[in-house]
């Protein structure tokens, strides 16, 4: 390529760059608003606005809890023998004193009968000894019998009397052993799966069934040690603290009306928590032993707390804030302090707002400090533009386009 063509190409490139630069410097401007700003910036932004309201706010402490039966009893026979029958249905309620199982009673019945016969025999010997003693006491004064023989007769009568007393105790023991052949329920509860079948020989180590008492039922949970003073102060009131159990999936209440029964007397040093026990009536069997639940413990109620929807609170580099609507329908970023949650959708504000202040709950992503807004109520949608407004916007767009050229 000759030197001439190289110079020509450089000149052409410089001219192209100059043309591009001129077009960028003379880029068409958008339509201007009445205040001299771009029309898009001056148009009010439709946003949903709600006022800050005062209401009584319950203060909860939340934790993970475990359902625990009020009483759990493993039923073992107190005597051994062949199991004749099972008299309960697995998974069904049983009553205190109900016969759960029957053990072969014949051996124990024979021991009881033998103890009765032994006492009758010893009672007869006692009667003979007492008769001999009574006759001999009349003769001792006449000198027909020595006092030593009288003492011997008296001691013999006392000996038989003690033997009869021992026989009576043996009868009671045999009677108890015989009664143990009927295995009775010690509590009202729900029967589990049986551990043995009829026909087997059971011992005192054989587990027949496990019973659980479901009414009432306990929920055990733990809280961090920094909550201990708050809970103890709240528990000193006249009424017990209220506890609600929620499911683990969507935090839906499954049992309410529970009360705090016990605060443990020590803190677990390995976890920095303390245990609590609550009690529920569980009338509908909503709670089941071993079940995991979310627990809400009501420790206080704030009178007249400031409440706003949780979606109004934004998180910035300097902390939480809300967009507050001012009297001229512009917004400002207002720092706030969130004092706690109120249900699933609202929060309580500790500082930064007062009752009646208007805050934006929807449309914040289009806002910046000083933005002009069109406040809407929750569920309200902005009105569709009229034909005149559409025509005005069209003309402003054309005017801006001609101005640019």
Domain at 42-54+305-399: CATH architecture: Beta Barrel (2.40)
Domain at 71-202: CATH architecture: Beta Barrel (2.40)
Which pLDDT does position 389 carry in this prediction?
56
Q: Picking from 182-186, 251-255, 324-328, 392-396, which range would have the lowest pLDDT averaged per residue?
A: 392-396
Query: Same CATH topology for 42-54+305-399 and 60-69+213-302?
Result: no
Residue 27 has pLDDT above 60, yes or no: no
Confidence of residue 392 (pLDDT cuts 50, 70, 90): low
80 with 183: CB under 8 angstroms? no
**Domain boundaries defined on the chain:** 42-54+305-399, 60-69+213-302, 71-202
Q: Which two tokens stand for residue 151?
A: 């003492």
pLDDT tens digits for range 131-145:
888 877 777 676 677
Three-state DSSP state, 177: helix
CA-angle at 217, arms to 213 and 218, nearest 5°: 130
Phi, psi for residue 151 in degrees, rounded to 5:
-65, -40
Which pLDDT does position 4 carry in this prediction?
62
Q: Output b/e per residue, 87-103; b: 16+ Cβ within 10 A.
A: ebeeeeebeeeeebbbb
Helix ranges (H only) for 248-386 are none
Q: 138: buried, middle or exposed (CB in 10 Å: 19+, 13-18, 0-12)?
A: exposed
Residues 6+ apart with CB under 8 A from 140: 146, 147, 150
CATH number for the segment(s) 60-69+213-302: 2.40.30.170
State if pTM tops 0.85.
no
Kindly give the pairing relationship between strand 45-51 and strand 373-376.
parallel
Nearest Cα to 81, choosing from 211, 198, 256? 198
Residues 6+ apart with CB under 8 A from 263: 228, 231, 232, 235, 274, 276
CA separation, residue 370 to residues 44, 113, 154, 324, 329 (Å): 11, 102, 117, 10, 9
Q: Picking from 172-176, 197-201, 234-238, 254-258, which range would have the lowest pLDDT averaged per residue?
A: 234-238
pLDDT tens digits for range 294-337:
999 999 888 889 999 999 999 988 899 999 999 999 999 999 99
Residue 32 has pLDDT above 80, yes or no: no
Confidence of residue 398 (pLDDT cuts 50, 70, 90): low
Residues 6+ apart with CB under 8 A from 117: none
pLDDT tens digits for range 311-323:
999 998 889 999 9
Mean pLDDT of 148-161: 88
Which pLDDT does position 120 carry in this prediction?
95
Residue 266 has pLDDT above 90, yes or no: yes
CA separation, residue 383 to residues 40, 354, 358 (Å): 18, 30, 21
Q: Which two tokens stand for residue 243?
A: 């506890």
């Amino acid at each position: 390529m000759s030197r001439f063509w190289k110079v020509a190409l450089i000149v052409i490139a410089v001219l192209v760059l100059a043309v591009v630069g001129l077009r960028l410097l003379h880029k068409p401007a958008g339509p201007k608003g009445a205040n001299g700003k771009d029309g898009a910036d001056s148009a009010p932004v439709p946003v949903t606005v709600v006022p800050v309201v005062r209401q009584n706010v319950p203060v909860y402490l939340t934790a993970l809890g475990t359902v625990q039966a009020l009483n759990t009893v493993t039923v073992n026979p107190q005597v051994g023998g062949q199991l004749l029958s099972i008299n309960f249905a697995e998974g069904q309620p049983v009553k205190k004193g109900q016969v759960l199982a029957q053990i072969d009673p014949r051996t124990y019945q024979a021991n009881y009968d033998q103890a009765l016969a032994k006492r009758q025999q010893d009672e007869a010997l006692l009667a003979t000894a007492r008769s001999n003693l009574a006759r001999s006491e009349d003769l001792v004064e006449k000198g027909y019998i020595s006092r030593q023989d009288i003492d011997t007769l008296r001691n013999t009568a006392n000996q038989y009397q003690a033997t009869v007393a021992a026989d009576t105790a043996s009868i009671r023991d045999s009677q108890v052993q015989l009664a143990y052949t009927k295995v009775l329920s010690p509590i009202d509860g729900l029967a589990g799966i049986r551990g043995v079948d009829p026909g087997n020989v059971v011992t005192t180590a054989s587990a027949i069934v496990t019973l659980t008492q479901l009414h009432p039922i306990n929920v055990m949970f733990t809280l961090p040690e920094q909550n201990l003073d708050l809970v103890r102060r709240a528990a000193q009131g006249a009424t017990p603290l209220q506890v609600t159990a929620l499911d683990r999936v969507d935090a839906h209440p499954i049992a309410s009306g529970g009360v705090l029964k016990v605060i443990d007397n020590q803190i677990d040093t390995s976890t920095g928590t303390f245990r609590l026990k609550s009690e529920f009536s569980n009338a509908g069997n909503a709670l089941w032993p071993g079940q995991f639940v979310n627990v809400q413990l009501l420790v206080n109620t704030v009178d007249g707390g400031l409440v706003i929807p949780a979606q109004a609170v934004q998180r910035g580099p300097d902390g939480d804030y809300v967009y507050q609507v001012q009297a001229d329908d512009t917004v400002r970023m207002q720092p706030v302090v969130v004092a706690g949650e109120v249900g699933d959708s609202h929060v309580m504000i500790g500082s930064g707002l007062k009752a009646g202040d208007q805050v934006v709950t929807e449309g914040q992503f289009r806002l910046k400090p000083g933005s002009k807004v069109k406040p809407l109520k929750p569920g309200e949608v902005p009105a569709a533009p009229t034909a005149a407004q559409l025509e005005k916007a069209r003309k402003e767009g054309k005017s801006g386009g001609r101005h640019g050229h």
